[in-house]
Amino acid sequence: MPGRFDDIDVGQVVTLGVAAVDEPALRTFCAAFAPSWTIEDGVPDALVFALWSRLDSDASAAWPQTKRLGVDALRFMRHPPAGELLRGRMTVFAKDPVGADKGVIIAQHDLLDEAGRLVFSCLTRSVFSR
């Protein structure tokens, strides 16, 4: 990700990294938070969100992002199986300067499976330093 708000381009795609769906973690998650879910059905939506959230958090730790204003339009498309490798990406949709020292970035975040199929997507609004 570029250094500041003004260096970010609309249409820019940023890699968020990859996360493997670990079967022991899936079993533990289901036992604790989704006891009626069977792992044969793949990853439940809440764990898909948690995997995206972790990728997003790790990727954005060094960005000039100062605040996340919202996460909207969540779409859960697939339930990947245990062992699947998920890839995260962010696409900048819009940017709006807010004063001399900050701006808002609107972006779509996607999680894709190994075949490139959409598993999850959402829209975010975040404040970045200028």
Q: Give per-residue pLDDT as tens, 55-103.
A: 999 999 989 999 999 999 999 999 999 999 999 999 999 999 998 999 9
Distances (CA, A) of 78 to 68, 112, 118: 26, 10, 7
Closest by CA position to 107, among listed 66, 51, 69: 69
Superfamily of domain 5-129: Hotdog Thioesterase (3.10.129.10)
Q: How far is CA 106 from CA 38, 57, 79, in A?
A: 35, 16, 26
Direct distance between the N- and C-terminal alpha carbons of the chain, in angstroms, rounded to an integer: 13
For 24-45, the pLDDT digits (tens) are 999 999 999 999 999 999 999 9
